[in-house]
Amino acid sequence: MSLSSQITGMILEMLGSSGTIEIQRNELAQTIGCVPSQINYVIASRFTPEQGYIVESRRGGGGYIRIRRAAMEPDQKVMHAVNAVGDKLDERTARAHLAELVSTGVIDKHAAMLMLSAVSDNALRPAAVGDRDAVRASVFKQLLLVEMGRNG
């Protein structure tokens, strides 16, 4: 298991059922045995709004990082994902959005697999390389809206 996965697992465990934690980056880094920048990397890449988290930080001697799960209704989560996509979307970010929607029960795994297949680099191969992320964003948003209508 990679160090990033270990840090992610520890943070998820700390989040538990409460859905909110406050951590001090240096203390967590010491506990895990890594440098504080590794904690920053994990939080920046794995606890993003696209993945359903709100991160706040306060710098300074008594500084902390607060991570909490965003509490939203299923339709709100879909609309949040649609709005977060913007005009361009890479495959990695699409995966993150779908993983969050599956983990919170907004969409099922089968629907997520179909959506990911439709917006994969392989499916978009006929599009010009420079246009793929824009095409992916457009298709992804439409698929999310259709899925929201199907479940709503």
pLDDT of residue 136: 96
Position 127 scores a pLDDT of 96
Q: What is the pLDDT of residue 152?
A: 57
- Give the number of other Cβ atoms within 10 Å of residue 70's Cβ: 15
The residue among 69, 86, 112 that closes a domain is 69
Residues 130 and 83 occupy one common structural domain: yes
Nearest-angstrom CA–CA distance, 131 and 112: 23
Give the chain's domain count.
2
What is the extent of the structural domain holding 107?
Answer: 74-151
| Residue 67 binned pLDDT confidence (cut-offs 50, 70, 90) | very high
The whole-number average pLDDT for the span 111-132 is 96
- Other CB atoms within 10 Å distance of the CB of residue 131: 11
If asked whether residues 144 and 86 sit together in one domain, one would say yes
More reliable by pLDDT, 81 or 29: 29
For residues 7-31, give the mean pLDDT: 85
Question: How far from 149 is each of 103, 135, 143, 152, CA to CA, in Å?
Answer: 19, 21, 10, 5
Does residue 116 share a domain with residue 101? yes
Nearest in space to 43 (alpha carbons), one of 68, 60, 19: 68
Whether this model's pTM surpasses 0.75? no
Q: Which of 7-11, 36-40, 49-53 shows the lowest per-residue confidence on average (mean pLDDT)? A: 49-53
